[in-house]
Structure 1
Amino acid sequence: MSFDFAYDLLRELTEARGVPGYEDAVRAIARREFAEHTDRVRTDAMGNVVGTIEGDSDYSVAVAAHMDEIGFMVRHVTEDGFVKVDPLGGFDPRVLRAQRVTVHGEEDLTGVIGSVPPHTLTEEQREKADAVSDVFIDLGRDAETVEELVGVGDVVTLDQTTTRMGDRITGKALDDRVCLFAAIEAAKRIEGPDVTIHFAATVQEEVGLRGATALGVDIDPDLALALDVTVANDVPQIGDAADAVTKLGEGTAIKLKDASVITSPKVHKRLTAVAETEGIDHQHEVLPAGGTDTAGFQNTAGAKPVGAISIPTRYLHTVTETADGDDIAATIDLLTAFLTSETGEHDYTL
């Protein structure tokens, strides 16, 4: 894998900070990139960014990838200067111990999620399950200083850089910046399409697909595609191959269902046909849990045909999310081929 795509942009996107409702830094990158590669760009009241490439017909396609990453909001500062938080998105509390974070207060403050050393744990503490409500952040400052710099409502992000790991890429927020990256890369390649294409960088997906649901009304597309990461549980802990969902290195994933949506059969069949015709490595995805922006477009403004393309990713909702470079490239190729071959004349009704 030669990483024959804009790796520096992918790293910039994934290392940017943007929890649900506070996607400002990511939004600035999305606006910058779409302004260069689409005909017009707008931002709505929620913060969704839409870059539109005008087509030769009134038929329109929405392509959505979300900007937000999971994080926290400050809910309390203790009298000793420790910070307690409320989650913004779904965390497995087991992965939070000993993580480094940034608290975005009056200034950006580095902190650590504290963990009591095993030497001093009581038997009761050893047996107690981890919970996000028990998380406390140590900012390494006295209580008075913390009180001055941090308040209820400040947001918290996890710290991690993005790096190459063999032919793979690992870091935080690949969910879903790697798919926003794929959308931007596709927009670069598309000129003079038959249909109008709305590339949407959405907000607040991790807390209920909120941005996409609003866009479903505002854009009201004839066809919608969502881009998101999906589970790749091809790791030693998963004994049953059926539970892997997808595998790294096997190609882009064409979604058939997740917990929020059953994709339109005619849409996922055409995605598959395009992949086969173009010789693009692909696999099919049946995800038993989790939702995506796909559902936000399916019936918000009446029944719509929807599909989704996913990038297989290991270790979702951690700071070590890992994707394969070839799978990313295949996703860009499939999205581009599908959009450039969309004429508005395909019948997706059932």
Structure 2
Amino acid sequence: MSFAFDYDLLRELTEARGVSGYEDRVRGLVRRELSETTDHVETDAMGNVVATIEGDADYSVAVAAHMDEIGFMVRHVTEDGFVQVDPLGGFDARVLRAQRVTVHGEEDLTGVIGSVPPHTLTDEQRERNDEVSDLFIDLGRGGEEVSELVSVGDLVTLDQTTTILGDCITGKALDDRVCVFAMIEAARRIEEPDVTIHFAATVQEEVGLRGAHALGVDIDPDLAIALDVTVANDVPQIGKEADAVTELGAGTAIKLKDSSVITSPKVHSRLTSVAETEGIEHQHEVLPAGGTDTAGFQRSNGAKPVGAISIPTRYLHTVTETANADDIAGTIDLLTAFLESETGEHDYTL
């Protein structure tokens, strides 16, 4: 299948490992790519990457997408060599059993999250809700060897490759590497903007929008646009169309609200107008639960106009996150067109 974007880079970004607070491997890729297309690149004390294209106007726009993925930190190693973990980000523990992981100890070690065979489950075990604290990782090694290779504080990531699935792309960490990728693609296309654009790859979004909050103060933009995935529950188990939030293949999503932010009406109206003018297929997103970096910029250094563009994605926070290729391309197109048409003269105040 041919794509209107650099699929190899998207695969590289999504397959890289980088849990909240430890985004080093992803940060290296982002710096490599953005240093080729922007005027200068900086990294702050938290690990946020900010790559800037200088414009002529005394007006700045921040575009943010987060680098971190959900993962774990080792909290205990048993005498028998089983590893217990603490979550970094929001997991549904039901989907974790029998998954393959990588424990980043003295070396990268393949492990599996253990699952008791259904043949031997007690009635109590069948009825109990899974918790991350109940999980254990089996490294296939004895206790003495594991204790030499794994320590409290080591990181654990879910193990999955990225691949093409019909008209879609599926893998781990599309949340939010697919949006980091969209931001990089837009930076490649924009050459001489009227306004200064800060392309921000943020850290620790999955544990509380922490990187974006810091950047809202440090770069203090006049306008902020965040990029993230959003829920696409357009699957048989969801009974009502309204509960689907967005639909794969129906276009990029312009966010109206989530549980952390109500986007600025004049910003999402202009995003919609740009999409209509450019003939970019789009849909509007009302997300009942979940937050994004949008909220990190809205009020961290005084009130700021904010908007958000989302990529509809099925099976969020699993290793099979799935997005439609045309929706990804549309997101890149809308972000690029919006930034190229931003003059600093639009009045977003209410």
Shared fold, TM over 0.5? yes
Deviations 1:224-254 (A, max 9, x none): 0000000000000000000000000000000
Query: What is the identity, as a one-letter code, of the residue corresponding to 1:79?
Result: E
Deviations 1:158-190 (A, max 9, x none): 000000011100000000000000000000000
Q: Look up the match of 1:8.
A: 8
User: Residues 186-201 of structure 1 correspond to what in structure 2 (within 5 A)?
Assistant: 186-201=186-201
State the identity %.
Answer: 85
Q: Distance in 1 between matches of 2:348 and 2:271?
A: 12
Q: Distance in 2 between matches of 1:34 and 1:51?
A: 6
Q: Look up the match of 2:93.
A: 93
Q: Distance in 2 between matches of 1:287 and 1:265?
A: 16
Is 1:63 matched with 2:71?
no
SS in 1 for 2:76: strand
Q: Distance in 1 between matches of 2:314 and 2:175?
A: 10
Is 1:135 matched with 2:135?
yes
Q: Look up the match of 1:346.
A: 346
Q: Look up the match of 2:247.
A: 247
Q: Distance in 1 between matches of 2:168 and 2:5?
A: 13
Q: Look up the match of 1:37.
A: 37
| Deviation, structure 1 residue 324 | 0.1
SS in 1 for 2:347: coil
Normalising by structure 2, we get a TM-score of: 1.00
Deviations 1:179-209 (A, max 9, x none): 0000000000001100000000000000000
Query: What is the identity, as a one-letter code, of the residue corresponding to 1:318?
Result: T
Q: Look up the match of 1:72.
A: 72
Q: Distance in 2 between matches of 1:241 and 1:192?
A: 42
Q: Look up the match of 2:204.
A: 204
Normalising by structure 1, we get a TM-score of: 1.00
How many residue pairs match? The answer is 350
Deviations 1:268-311 (A, max 9, x none): 00000000000000000000000000000000000000000000
| Structure 1 runs, 4 residues or longer, greater than 4 Å off | none
Query: What is the identity, as a one-letter code, of the residue corresponding to 1:229?
Result: V
Q: Distance in 2 between matches of 1:280 and 1:68?
A: 29
Q: Look up the match of 1:281.
A: 281
Q: Structure 2: any 5+ residue segments left out of the alignment?
A: none
| Deviation, structure 1 residue 2 | 3.0
Q: Look up the match of 1:53.
A: 53
Pairwise CA RMSD of aligned residues?
Answer: 0.5
SS in 2 for 1:261: coil
Q: Look up the match of 2:321.
A: 321
Deviations 1:48-78 (A, max 9, x none): 0001000011200000000000000000001
| Deviation, structure 1 residue 4 | 1.8
Q: Look up the match of 1:149.
A: 149
Q: Structure 1: any 5+ residue segments left out of the alignment?
A: none
Query: What is the identity, as a one-letter code, of the residue corresponding to 1:139?
Result: L
| Deviation, structure 1 residue 127 | 1.1
Q: Distance in 2 between matches of 1:338 and 1:323?
A: 22
SS in 2 for 1:247: coil
Query: What is the identity, as a one-letter code, of the residue corresponding to 2:331?
Result: T
Query: What is the identity, as a one-letter code, of the residue corresponding to 1:294?
Result: T
Q: Distance in 2 between matches of 1:152 and 1:2?
A: 44
Q: Look up the match of 1:303.
A: 303
